Amino acid sequence: MKKICLLIFFVVPLVVMAQNPDSVWFVNNYTKKEVAIPMRDGIKLFTSIYIPKDKSEKHPILMTRTPYSCAPYGTAYKAYWRNFQLRYAHEGYILVTQDIRGRWMSEGTFVVVRPFNANKKIKKDIDEASDTYDTIDWLVKNIENNNGNVGVSGISFPGFFATMAALSGHPALKAVSPQAPVTDRFLATTIIITVFCF
């Protein structure tokens, strides 16, 4: 009896998940595309793009840049139907997730909380803002049926990258939503220590 109960405990949720109407809807209405987008210094950033199959109108782009992986890679679809982004899918957004520089499938060197470089002097000077600019530029020029409007959102580390997106200055960037963004850890630690010392 114990073996049967365990089997039901593990198998029934898998069957229910496989028949999730939201996941079926998403797969039936979106096409997945994986690309390596070139940055100004020649590094390529792995990007997962879900494009509505609806060609009757042009669609806005909603992007998240992350150090946590834009998996699943290959033909499997990301489980957008398990979070708030399903609402954006129903509204017809092109959904984009990118592995940041030096993480997972992206090339380059990862730097934790890479600082913004306001004085980029040569074309190959980079930061997270320039990577966002180059990504947005590639997306609006290469993804068909986009309407030229891009939003960037993120929570925690992706919130930091959303903040850097705001500094990119790309004309197609219309909205940025950094939620609980990671900040400079040394400065934040110094402030906390200072508060506790008084």
Q: Which domain holds residue 100?
A: 30-197
Letter string b/e over residues 96-130, b meaning 16 or more CB atoms within 10 A of that residue's CB: bbbbbbebbbbbbeeeebbeeeeeeeeeeebbbbb
98-157 pLDDT, tens per residue? 998 887 777 777 777 776 667 776 667 777 788 899 999 999 999 999 999 999 988 888
Within-domain flag for 190 = yes
pLDDT band at 198 (very low <50, low <70, confident <90, very high): very low
Indicate whether 1 belongs to any domain.
no
Would you place residue 2 in the very low, low, confident or very high pLDDT band (cuts 50, 70, 90)?
Answer: low
Considering its fold, how many domains does the chain have in total? 1
Instruction: Tell me the whole-structure pTM to 2 decimals.
Output: 0.77
Residue 10 has pLDDT above 60, yes or no: no
Residue with tokens 């020649």: 42
Please report whether residue 20 resides in a domain. Answer: no
* CATH value at residue 39: 3.40.50.1820
* 15 within a domain of the structure (yes/no): no
* Alpha-carbon distance values, 123 to 3, 26, 47 (Å): 63, 39, 22
Q: What is the pLDDT of residue 81?
A: 66
Classify residue 14: in a domain, yes or no: no
List the single range of 128-132, 171-175, 180-184 with lowest mean pLDDT: 180-184
Whether 11 is in a domain gets the answer no
Asked whether residue 16 is assigned to any structural domain, the reply reads: no
Tell me the average pLDDT across 13-36.
75
Average pLDDT in the chain? 79
Q: Is 7 part of any domain?
A: no
